């Protein structure tokens, strides 16, 4: 299961394509692993060439240690593991953990521990899944709506619909949350 989840993450992150897109604040990236993240993982300064040289085996080890085993996401109910791992990769382990904790009514400390695992085991997993999806979509909307480059464009007189992204996402996620509430 873990290997399949990591394969899905690698695909979503562009597989082995190296990028350094100016619009991507992560900078030099391969397998979805940024220069900063790779340096932190390696415990030393790394170069763009070090990022370009990341192998699939290294990428898999990186994701398994930092986004599956380390945060204990593999101990969540099986239905939640792929979603929460992907959220951890895309938004940070603490945010993904807090979303699970918020969905189950647990203390939101950002760490999956025994109390969270006990509480999540006693909840409707589908409801938790829907709520985590809704929290994630709301964040995407806020990211787009509050992008400082959007503000610059608006200052230049451009009227871009991106300013409405948060509201649209909130409107859509209301239905996910409503369904989740009926399942509790």
pLDDT (tens digit per residue) in 114-170: 999 999 999 999 999 999 999 999 999 888 888 888 888 888 888 877 777 777 777
Residues 51 and 100 in one domain: no
What per-residue string of b and e applies to 8-37 under the rule 16 or more CB within 10 Å gives b?
ebbeebeeeeeeeeeeeeeebbbbbbbbeb
CA 123 – CA 111 distance, rounded (Å): 18
Residues 106 and 57 in one domain: no
CA 17 – CA 50 distance, rounded (Å): 14
CA 170 – CA 144 distance, rounded (Å): 13
Share of the chain above pLDDT 70, in %: 100
Quote the pTM value. Answer: 0.88
Q: Maximum distance among all alpha carbons in the chain? A: 53
Residues 86 and 171 in one domain: yes
The domain total for the chain is 2
Residues 64 and 17 in one domain: yes
Residue 77 has pLDDT above 90, yes or no: yes
CA 52 – CA 57 distance, rounded (Å): 14
Question: Of 52, 69, 86, which residue constitutes the final position of a domain?
Answer: 69
Note whether 73 and 81 are within 8 A (CB): yes
Residues 164 and 91 in one domain: yes
Question: Of 46, 69, 92, which residue constitutes the final position of a domain?
Answer: 69
Contacts of 77 (CB under 8 A, 6+ apart): 120, 121, 125, 128
18 has which bridge partners? Answer: 30
Q: What end-to-end distance do the CA atoms of the chain give, in Å?
A: 27
Give the residue among 112, 141, 142, 140 at the shortest CA–CA distance from 128: 112
Residues 111 and 176 in one domain: yes
Give the residue among 65, 40, 63 at the shortest CA–CA distance from 50: 40
Question: Of 39, 69, 99, which residue constitutes the final position of a domain?
Answer: 69
Residues 46 and 88 in one domain: no
Residues 99 and 60 in one domain: no
The mean per-residue pLDDT over the stretch 7-35 comes to 93
The predicted structure's pLDDT at residue 83: 97
Residues 176 and 120 in one domain: yes
Residues 84 and 52 in one domain: no
Residues 174 and 84 in one domain: yes
Give the structural domain span for 30. Answer: 1-69
Residues 111 and 52 in one domain: no
């Amino acid at each position: 299961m873990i290997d399949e989840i990591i394969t899905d993450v690698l695909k979503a992150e562009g597989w082995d394509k190296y990028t350094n897109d100016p619009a991507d604040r992560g900078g030099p990236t391969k397998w979805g692993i940024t220069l900063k993240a790779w340096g932190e993982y390696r415990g030393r300064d790394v170069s763009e060439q070090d990022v370009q040289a990341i192998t699939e085996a290294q990428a898999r080890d990186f994701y398994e240690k930092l986004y599956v085993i380390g945060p204990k996401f593999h101990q969540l109910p099986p239905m939640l593991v792929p979603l929460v791992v992907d959220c951890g990769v895309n938004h940070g382990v603490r945010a993904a953990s807090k979303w699970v904790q918020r969905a189950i009514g647990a203390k939101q400390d950002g760490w999956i521990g025994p109390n969270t695992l006990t509480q999540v085991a006693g909840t409707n997993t589908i409801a938790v899944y829907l709520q985590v999806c809704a929290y994630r979509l709301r964040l995407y909307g806020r990211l787009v709506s509050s992008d400082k480059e959007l503000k610059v464009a608006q200052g230049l007189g451009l009227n871009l619909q991106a300013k409405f992204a948060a509201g649209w996402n909130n409107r859509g996620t209301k239905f996910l949350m409503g369904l989740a509430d009926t399942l509790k």
